[in-house]
Amino acid sequence: MTAHVGCPGFRFAGVRGGIKKKAGLDLGVIAADRPVATAAVFTSNRVKAAPVVLSQRALRAARGKVRGLVVNSGNANACTGPRGAADARRMQALAAAAIGCAPGEVLVASTGVIGEPLPMDRVETGISLAGAALTETGFAAFADAILTTDRRAKLARREVRLGGRTITLLGCTKGAGMIAPNMATTLTFVVTDAAIAPGALAAATRAAVAPTFNAIAVDGDTSTNDMLAVMASGRAGKAPLAGKALAAFTAALTELCADLARQLIGDGEGVHHVVTVQVKGATSARAATAVARRIATSPLVKTAIAGGDPNWGRILCAVGNAGAAIKPERISVWLDDARLCAAGARAPDHDEARAAAVMRQPAYTMTVDLGVGRASASYLACDLSHEYVSINADYRS
């Protein structure tokens, strides 16, 4: 099963250092055989955890070529002041020694409780164990080590034929606000054996993230630690991808990210329904996205999803709050193929029982046609349930 747990050019480890209070792996390392093209996107939150600040600088200084990364779960190393910055640098240096490279060639990520200093003795133990455990088939263990209160590991794999060669993409992600509210939140790592220049990889990564990880909403709170990194070993080809092959790679990366993003939403404790919010007929893609995001983050829409209530008035209320150009009298709303609203009012064929049946499904599509243009956008939303409140109100840091 090497095919499912590895990718040529990389070794992985996931071990337990004891950083997490509960049982489970909490320290992961990815090591490339040599400096490889690497791209990453980081949280837009202006309060950034120490590892985020450090990794952004390292990636820039290394001009998009690094040897590896180290990640711990159980502690976010966020809002930890100068000590947190020093701890992140120490993690980087320890991991570099384990991999056998310079500290500047290692990215650092953390996820967990905010505001507590890292237990560095346990981090050291973990990195030392991980260094000894690095193996080509260790991706599944690595994917386990980044989890916090996730119910299951979230992995995805894609293969794509490019110029007579098969390129592999392998990724994992962890935990949304819904499950890990105080855990600072989304981490995603992708490895591939594609040969690709750092600049092209950065562009492909941005393109892949926009309609996937940047188009999901749990509670609208962007964490201090979010990070997604893609490392490309180049083992599957000599010449860097370009033209059509690069486009095909970008498409495969986008598909992989969409797969992971959907798993991420679906794994939330308290999430019983994953709803694709499809907005069309907008004057611009920006307007369509604004409307989709507003619907996906509206507490009133999300509680209606939880309750299975086909309350289209709340959907129109959210549309009107998005700040986008609309004409209320042109809006139509469907749940799957059950039309609720036409011309901004109750549809003549409105069938509450049929719509309620759609909403009992674990996954369905909410379509909103604004009727004023040709642009569209899609967002993944979920319910706001009692469990969400319990998890977030009763959680003690």
Please list the active-site residues. 185
Question: Kind of pairing, strands 363-369 and 274-282?
Answer: parallel
Least separation, in Å, of the C-beta of 181 and its own copies? 5
Q: What is the C-alpha R_g of the chain?
A: 22
Q: How many positions of this chain bind its own copies (CB under 8 A)?
A: 69
* Stretch 132-161: interaction string toward its own copies, x if CB under 8 A: ------------------------------
111 vs 168, which CB is nearer to its own copies? 111
> E strands, the chain, where?
10-15, 27-42, 65-75, 106-113, 154-162, 165-174, 187-192, 227-232, 274-282, 332-335, 338-342, 345-346, 363-369, 375-382
Least separation, in Å, of the C-beta of 98 and its own copies? 28
Cβ burial, residue 290 (10 Å; 0-12/13-18/19+): buried
Least separation, in Å, of the C-beta of 76 and its own copies? 8
Question: Do 129 and 93 contact (CB within 8 A), yes or no?
Answer: no
CA dist 25 and 18 (Å) reads 8
Among residues 304, 355, 368, 382, the one that binds its own copies under rule CB under 8 A: 304
Question: Is residue 172 involved in binding its own copies (CB under 8 A)?
Answer: no
Least separation, in Å, of the C-beta of 277 and its own copies? 16
- DSSP string spanning 66-113? EEEEEEEEEE---S-HHHHHHHHHHHHHHHHHHHTS-GGGEEEEEEEE
Among residues 102, 317, 357, 372, the one that binds its own copies under rule CB under 8 A: 317
Question: Is residue 119 involved in binding its own copies (CB under 8 A)?
Answer: no
Q: Which of 165, 154, 155 is nearest to 196 (CA)?
A: 165
Question: Is residue 389 involved in binding its own copies (CB under 8 A)?
Answer: yes
Question: Is residue 221 involved in binding its own copies (CB under 8 A)?
Answer: yes
Among residue numbers 244 through 303, which ones bind its own copies (CB under 8 A)? 298-300, 303
Among residues 193, 219, 259, 267, the one that binds its own copies under rule CB under 8 A: 219
What letter would DSSP give residue 138? -
Least separation, in Å, of the C-beta of 257 and its own copies? 22
Q: Which residue has the tokens 């679906």?
A: 266
| Binding span for its own copies by CB under 8 A among 13-21, 148-156, 256-264, 381-389 | 381-389
CA dist 318 and 306 (Å) reads 17
Applying CB under 8 A, the residues found at the interface with its own copies are 44-48, 76, 78-81, 83-84, 113-116, 177, 181-182, 184, 219-224, 298-300, 303-304, 306-307, 309, 311-314, 316-324, 326, 328-329, 331, 341, 343-346, 383-386, 388-390, 392-397
